[in-house]
């Protein structure tokens, strides 16, 4: 039998239904790949061997009798931000030491209800705060891609869903779940040659996902093809009475949206995304994407999103403010780490000082400052007004066009330690963060290689709850780009 870990999700689904192989066989193949390779990549922080095999056997019983859900028997990796009952869930933070939830997140429950198999929990930036997976308590994740020409220096996989990206790109899972608050699905997808979609705010339930910034957080998949992302999102998305911000709209058949036809589609090119000093390869890739869509029959239009440059600074007020409130719950009383002291306030302070890493502390302190008496209007209120303007920009652009095309990231993958200045690191999300600020859906599609042989992605931004147009357009980009490059296996 050929290597089962080579197959993409759609092929795995077909193979399982056609009884070409069993879920137990492909699950064992993935567990073996993880056991062999994970030490080099550090993508998984927990591998649930027994649970995976038990779930696979249960799926095989269903498949044998011709039953089974949309993901029956498909082995997946789960970002450590999702609560998984009885299994390590720590947002890759020291402060949640030993936390094993007594409940399951809605998104993962949806996946299990559809028959998926859990391989384990994936590494990530601590509390999803980072763009390079260098802030995890469990150490850096390594990108399977390396620069060409014999340069063996490790590269970051992006973040915060860095473990999800590395594992999916290195074929240590069929697909993975991620979350995206400012670009945490799309940026790592772009840096590892994957497809990643952040759906519209409210499309996936946030219940049971460790909260970072509640008005921005959304779950979504990282996969090796556009179709695989459509299949994953079909299962992940749902209405949910447990999340009041989750919409009561039926989930469309995203796979059916992959018609390959974009004739007459109006594609907007926002001029403000053309940055000073943007690397030539990003500019070239963007132009290539424009040409591909035009050749496929789409109509290209220039549009303006005048407040684009203010999205990132506004984000770095709104997100830390919400984080400082959300992370107030970690006090050493109800779960996780406790650093003892006879005085209760000293216990809180010591626990939080030892339990949070430097980036998390930085953001909690920024958030506390911008929400503190006397500064609220100057910072938080102003940032939320700017956010209204950013959303208005998109609404006006979408009066003229159906979808927007932009680069996904300002550069290819970089080396750990290469970016040490926080603001410089934040700039990684410059093309993705606007989408979260406006609550819109965005998808990253691998589209080419930089001169060093590293993957680069394009981003499509859609109207609220119009993921179908995103998938349709992404499918056309994917076919035109014919991105078949793979990292040479060294891990």
Partner 1 sequence: MAVDEATVRRIAKLARISVSDDQAHAIEGELNTILDWVEQLNEVNVEGVEPMTSVVEMSMKMRDDEVADGECPEKVIANAPANEEHFYLVPKVVE
List CB contacts of 102: < 8 A, sequence separation 6 or more. 85, 86
Q: Which is nearer to partner 1, 50 or 248 (CB)?
A: 248
Q: How far is the CB of 305 from partner 1 (least distance, A)?
A: 14
Q: Which is nearer to partner 1, 49 or 94 (CB)?
A: 94
Q: How far is the CB of 103 from partner 1 (least distance, A)?
A: 8
Measured from the Cβ of residue 339, the count of other Cβ atoms closer than 10 Å reads 16
Q: Which is nearer to partner 1, 355 or 455 (CB)?
A: 355
Kindly list the distances between the CA atom of residue 14 and the CA atoms of 11, 20, 52, 71, in Å, as whole numbers in the listed order. Answer: 5, 8, 20, 10
Q: Which helix (H) or strand (E) holds 121?
A: strand 117-122
CA angle (10, 16, 21) in 5-degree steps: 120
Among residues 335, 331, 326, the alpha carbon closest in space to that of 88 is found at: 335
161 is catalytic: no
Tell me how far apart the alpha carbons of residues 334 and 451 are, in angstroms, rounded to a whole number.
Answer: 51
Question: Which of residues 37, 135, 200, 428 is near partner 1 by CB under 8 A?
Answer: 200
- Stretch touching partner 1 by CB under 8 A, among 36-44, 173-181, 296-304, 339-347: 339-347
The residues in 348-367 that bind partner 1, with binding defined as CB under 8 A, are 348-350, 352-353, 356, 361-362, 364-366
Size of the site for partner 1 (CB under 8 A): 75
Q: Which is nearer to partner 1, 334 or 489 (CB)?
A: 334
Q: How far is the CB of 79 from partner 1 (least distance, A)?
A: 20
105 is catalytic: no
Q: How far is the CB of 16 from partner 1 (least distance, A)?
A: 34
Measured from the Cβ of residue 369, the count of other Cβ atoms closer than 10 Å reads 14
Question: Which of residues 71, 141, 209, 247 is near partner 1 by CB under 8 A?
Answer: 247
- Stretch touching partner 1 by CB under 8 A, among 16-24, 57-65, 200-208, 274-282: 200-208
SS3 4: helix
Measured from the Cβ of residue 91, the count of other Cβ atoms closer than 10 Å reads 30
304 is catalytic: no
Q: Which is nearer to partner 1, 112 or 348 (CB)?
A: 348
- DSSP string for residues in 382-399: HHHHHHHHHHHHHHHHTT
Q: Which is nearer to partner 1, 202 or 221 (CB)?
A: 202
CA angle (249, 253, 258) in 5-degree steps: 135
Using CB under 8 A as the binding rule, whether residue 439 contacts partner 1 is answered as: yes
Question: Which of residues 66, 152, 153, 248 is near partner 1 by CB under 8 A?
Answer: 248
Residues 11/88, Cβ–Cβ less than 8 Å = no
Write b or e for each residue in 123-142: b if 16 or more Cβ atoms lie within 10 A of its Cβ, otherwise e.
Answer: bbbbbbbbbbbbbbbbebbb
Q: Which is nearer to partner 1, 465 or 491 (CB)?
A: 465
**Active-site residue identified among 160, 161, 164, 205:** 160
CA angle (222, 359, 376) in 5-degree steps: 105
Q: How far is the CB of 352 from partner 1 (least distance, A)?
A: 5
SS3 16: helix
Question: Which of residues 98, 150, 264, 277 is near partner 1 by CB under 8 A?
Answer: 98
- What backbone torsions phi and psi does residue 355 show, to the nearest 5 degrees? -80, -30
The residues in 303-332 that bind partner 1, with binding defined as CB under 8 A, are 307, 309-310, 313-314, 316-317, 324, 328, 331-332
Using CB under 8 A as the binding rule, whether residue 347 contacts partner 1 is answered as: yes
The residues in 213-242 that bind partner 1, with binding defined as CB under 8 A, are 215-216, 241
Tell me how far apart the alpha carbons of residues 406 and 431 are, in angstroms, rounded to a whole number.
Answer: 7
Taking phi over 0 as left and psi of -120 to 50 as alpha, with beta for the rest, 14 belongs to alpha
The residues in 377-416 that bind partner 1, with binding defined as CB under 8 A, are 378-379, 381-389, 391
Using CB under 8 A as the binding rule, whether residue 336 contacts partner 1 is answered as: yes
Which residue stretches of 296-327 are H helix?
A: 311-326
- Stretch touching partner 1 by CB under 8 A, among 155-163, 264-272, 370-378, 469-477: 370-378
Question: Which of residues 103, 278, 410, 418 is near partner 1 by CB under 8 A?
Answer: 103
> Which positions are annotated as active-site residues?
79, 160, 184
């Amino acid at each position: 039998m050929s290597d089962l870990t080579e197959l993409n999700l759609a092929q795995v689904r077909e193979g399982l239904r056609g009884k070409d192989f069993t879920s137990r066989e492909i699950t064992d193949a993935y567990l073996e790949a993880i056991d062999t390779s994970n030490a080099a990549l550090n993508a998984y922080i927990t591998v649930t061997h027994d649970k995976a095999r038990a779930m696979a056997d249960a799926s095989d019983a269903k498949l044998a009798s011709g039953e089974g859900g949309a993901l029956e028997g498909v082995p997946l990796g789960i970002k450590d931000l999702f609560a998984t009952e009885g299994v390590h869930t720590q947002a890759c933070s020291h402060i949640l030491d030993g936390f094993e939830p007594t409940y399951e997140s809605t998104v993962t429950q949806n996946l299990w209800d559809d028959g998926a198999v859990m391989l384990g929990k994936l590494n990530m930036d601590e509390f999803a705060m980072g763009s390079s997976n260098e802030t995890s308590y469990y150490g850096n994740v390594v990108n399977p891609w390396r620069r060409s020409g014999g340069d063996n220096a490790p590269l970051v996989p992006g973040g915060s869903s860095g473990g999800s990206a590395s594992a999916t790109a290195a074929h240590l899972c069929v697909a993975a779940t991620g979350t995206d608050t400012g670009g945490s699905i799309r940026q790592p997808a772009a840096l590892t040659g994957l497809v990643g979609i952040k759906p519209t705010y409210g499309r996936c339930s946030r219940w049971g996902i460790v909260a970072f910034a509640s008005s921005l957080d959304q779950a979504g998949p990282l996969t090796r093809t556009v179709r695989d992302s459509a299949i994953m999102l079909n299962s992940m998305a749902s209405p949910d009475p447990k999340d009041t911000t989750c919409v009561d709209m039926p989930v469309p058949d995203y796979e059916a949206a992959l018609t390959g036809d974009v004739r007459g589609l109006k594609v907007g090119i926002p001029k403000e995304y053309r940055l000073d000093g943007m690397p030539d390869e990003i500019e070239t890739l963007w132009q290539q994407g424009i040409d591909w869509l035009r050749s496929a029959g789409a109509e290209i239009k220039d549009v303006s999103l005048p407040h684009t440059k203010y999205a990132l600074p506004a984000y770095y007020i709104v997100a830390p403010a919400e984080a400082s409130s959300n992370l107030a719950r970690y006090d050493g009383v109800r779960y996780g780490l406790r650093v003892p002291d006879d005085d209760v306030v000293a216990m809180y302070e010591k626990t939080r000082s030892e339990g949070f890493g430097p980036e998390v502390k930085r953001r909690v302190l920024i958030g506390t400052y911008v929400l503190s008496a006397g500064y609220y209007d100057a910072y938080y209120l102003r940032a939320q007004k700017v956010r209204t303007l950013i959303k208005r920009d998109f609404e006006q652009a979408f009066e003229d066009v159906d979808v927007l095309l932009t680069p996904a990231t300002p550069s290819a993958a970089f080396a750990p330690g290469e970016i040490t200045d926080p603001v410089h690191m934040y700039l990684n999300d410059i093309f993705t963060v606007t989408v979260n600020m406006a609550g819109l859906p965005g998808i990253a599609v691998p589209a080419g290689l930089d001169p060093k042989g590293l993957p680069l992605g394009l981003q499509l931004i859609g109207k609220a709850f119009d993921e179908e147009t995103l998938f349709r357009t992404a499918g056309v980009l994917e076919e035109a780009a014919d991105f078949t490059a793979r990292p040479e296996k060294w891990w």
